Structures are given as C-alpha cells and as structure tokens.
Amino acid sequence: MNDSQTVRAEIERILAAETDAVRLSNLLFTPGGLFSRLFVTPAEKKTVMDSPLFDAAQKRLSELQRRDVENLVKSSPPIVG
C-alpha cells in the first residue's frame, strides 16, 4: 500500500469511528490534517476536494455538528424573557 492509500484508509477508519465533531475536523481538515497529506499542488488539492471521500468526510462532520447542536439545545434551559 502506498502512502496515499494508507492515508485514505486512515481517513475511512476515522470516519467510521470518530464521534466528536471537533476531533474529526482537526484530524481531517486542518492544515496538518490527513487530507492535507494527499496533495502538494493546487491541482492535486482540487482533485482531493472533489473526491467522494472528501465529500463523505464533510457530510459526516455536518452530521456530528448537527447532533452537537441538537444536544446543546436539549440541555439548555429555556430562555425566559
């Protein structure tokens, strides 16, 4: 398995296992995150960002963020005005 395949496999493993939105975002999307290891040139970056794996990762992050917001709203006391 080459480095790109190893990184993609690690991304898939994280998508299946990680349940914290902030950790997922940090592991995958930050400048030092796994997706940044898949490109060097702007053209390679565009290819990565247009990939089904990147799309799946964004969707998973959105799901976790929505869940976090729902949990926050449920646990917050009502606003009395």
What are the extents of the domains in the chain? 3-75
For the residues of 27-59, what is the DSSP string, one character each?
HHHSTTSGGGGG-SSHHHHHHHHTSHHHHHHHH
pLDDT of residue 35: 98
Q: Of 6, 18, 15, 13, nearest to 58 (Cα)?
A: 15
Instruction: Give tens-digit pLDDT for 1-28.
Output: 779 999 999 999 999 999 999 999 999 9
pLDDT score for 7: 98
Mean of the per-residue pLDDT values of the chain: 94
pLDDT for the residue numbered 78: 73
Contacts of 68 (CB under 8 A, 6+ apart): 21
- pLDDT digits 0-9 by tens, 24-35: 999 999 999 999
